[in-house]
Amino acid sequence: MTAYAQELRRGTAVLLCLVNLEVPEYGYALLASLNKAGVEMDAGTLYPMLRRLEDQGLLEAEWNTDGPRPRKFFHTSPEGKLLAQELHREWQQLIATVEENMKGIKP
Amino acid sequence: MMPTLTDRYVWAVLRALPPEHRDTVEQELRANIADAIDADDDDDRLSSEKRAIREMGDPSQLAVGFSPKPSYLIGPTNYVQYRHVLGVIVSVVCFAAALGAFLVSNSYSTPPGVVLASVALAVVISGLLGLVGVTASYAAIDRRSVNSAPFGPEATLHRLPHRPPPRASSSTSTILMVLGALTAFVVILVGELITQDFANPNEAVFLLPQGAEVATITYFALIAIAFGAIYVGVYRSDGWTTRLAWLNTLLNIVFVVPTAWMLFTGAVIVWNDGSRNADEIGVITLTPAALLGWILLIAGVVDSLGSHLAAYRRQRNNPPLLTLVADLFGRSTAGKP
């Protein structure tokens, strides 16, 4: 059950990153906030994904050197925001489809 | 200073990545690990560091995520090294096979077409053998080095690799030029000794410019030493510098130009049946010797340009090649009205 649930959640990882990063954030803070929100994601999965989204132009990144140590802050690009809206629409349709199909199943 | 666990973990990831991606990935990894350590409540920093690294996961798997291209037969741990070794081995084997096939077939007054076909066949077969051999070896190494235990236990952390001292960036072409010079030197020296028909001087094969054997041998030996010295310089400088690139270009000129000239004019490695001489063969004739001369010329140009490009990229902190080209193009058009 846990593995299936994780697989289901993993499909939403990109959408959640794009939505959460509308406010600029650095990698570890994003990981912590996702985990706090119940989306368990490995650091080894998140960091490469952030880099891939950056390479694809869906995220923009900037090194912040104001703190005691440089940190790379990510935020969603305009293209990323458009994709997030599309994915959100897909997500809503998916929920509606699942709910519709669940009606015929007895608990 | 002793490398920390973080240093070793970061290196375990970086070594599987192409050199041009390492700097940025290293910065990100170190920042993320440091953040995770800071967020840990444990006062013992080493314990926090271990936990942070375990959270990052298996370095090989992380490298797959950061890798710009997927690799299938050879995994990320060994892929970059495999590609490098494959390039060197296949190039050297092909060069040696081509030279050997040329010398053997050309020594029996074989028609030029047959010589050319022999050389081409030798290159294809040796190249394929090299490819299969290196790939099979690395596939075996890769499967033996796969982590049998899940990443994270104490024993696994202790197995993290140490970063080697700074090394020269890839300079395969220079190594090949050194090997080429040495091969030519040995072939010419040995050939000079074994092919002369001293009993009948009119039928002798001559492999060196007549009357200048010692000078030619010394010349090639010095060139081989000079190439070696340049490579040591590249190693010590941790990559190509502009000065080394210019020295490399100069050395290419003094190696390739005379060698190609000798091949074009038939002054070296020509069957002297008494009926032809260098003047009759001409300077640019498509004989197997001339073809070898052209290959050497092209290799020299590519090697020189490659060293200058490497030095230029190094000055600009190794940007990707496409970025560099775009940057150059942008700068060249920016000044125009």
B31 vs A contacts (CB less than 8 Å): 26-27, 69-72
pLDDT on residue B2: 73
Q: How many CB pairs under 8 A join A and B?
A: 55
- Burial class from Cβ neighbours inside 10 Å (0-12, 13-18, 19+) for residue B214 reads exposed
CA B11 to chain centre: 23
CB-based contact B245:B310 (threshold 8 Å): yes
B24: Cβ contacts below 8 Å, ≥ 6 apart = none
Written as six digits, the tokens of B11 are: 């290196």
DSSP H helices in chain A: 2-10, 13-20, 27-36, 43-55, 78-102
Q: With a cut of 50, list the residues of chain A below it in pLDDT.
A: none
- Cβ–Cβ gap A71/B31 under 8 Å: yes
Q: How far is B6 from chain A (nearest CA, A)?
A: 15
Which of B167, B306, B173 is closest to B232 using CA atoms? B167
The torsion angles phi and psi of B41, rounded to 5 degrees, stand at: -80, -15
Among all residues of chain A, which has the CA nearest to that of B69?
Answer: A52
Q: What is the pLDDT of residue B337?
A: 32
Q: What is the DSSP string of B79-127?
A: HHHHHHHHHHHHHHHHHHHHHHHHHHHHTTT--HHHHHHHHHHHHHHHH
Q: Which of B9, B28, B55 to mutate: most A Cβ within 10 Å?
A: B28
DSSP B166-185: P-PPP-HHHHHHHHHHHHHH
pLDDT tens digit string along B135-145?
888 887 776 65
Task: Report pLDDT for A89.
Answer: 95
Q: How many CA atoms, within 13 angstroms, populate the side-chain half-sphere of residue B254?
A: 15
pLDDT for position B207: 55
* Partner B contacted by A47 (CB < 8 A): yes
Which pLDDT belongs to residue B96?
Answer: 80
**Min Cα separation A88/chain B (Å):** 25
ipTM attached to this prediction? 0.85
**CA angle (A47, A48, A49) in 5-degree steps:** 90
What does the pLDDT read at residue B217?
72
pLDDT beneath 70: ranges in chain B: 1, 69-72, 75-78, 80, 104-110, 143-156, 159, 162-213, 235-238, 265-291, 316-337
The predicted structure's pLDDT at residue B311: 82
* Cα first-last separation, chain A: 17
The shortest C-alpha distance from A57 to chain B (Å) reads: 15
Distance, in Å, from the CA atom of B206 to the CA atom of B203, rounded to the nearest integer, reads: 9
Phi then psi for A38, rounded to 5 degrees?
95, 5
- Write out the two tokens for A16: 């959640």
Distance CA B248, CA B256 (A): 12
pLDDT recorded at residue B278: 44
Inspect the interface and report whether the beta carbons of A28 and B62 lie closer than 8 Å.
no
**Residue pair A57/A79 in contact by the 8 Å Cβ criterion:** yes
A57: left (phi over 0), alpha (psi -120 to 50) or beta: left
Q: Could you read off the pLDDT of B254-291 as tens digits, one per residue?
A: 888 887 777 776 555 444 444 444 444 433 344 556 66
Please say whether the beta carbons of B220 and B185 come within 8 A: yes
Interface test with B, best of A26, A51, A56 (most B CBs within 10 A): A51
In chain A, the residue whose alpha carbon lies closest to the alpha carbon of B21 is: A51
Q: A90 to chain B, minimum CA–CA distance in Å?
A: 26
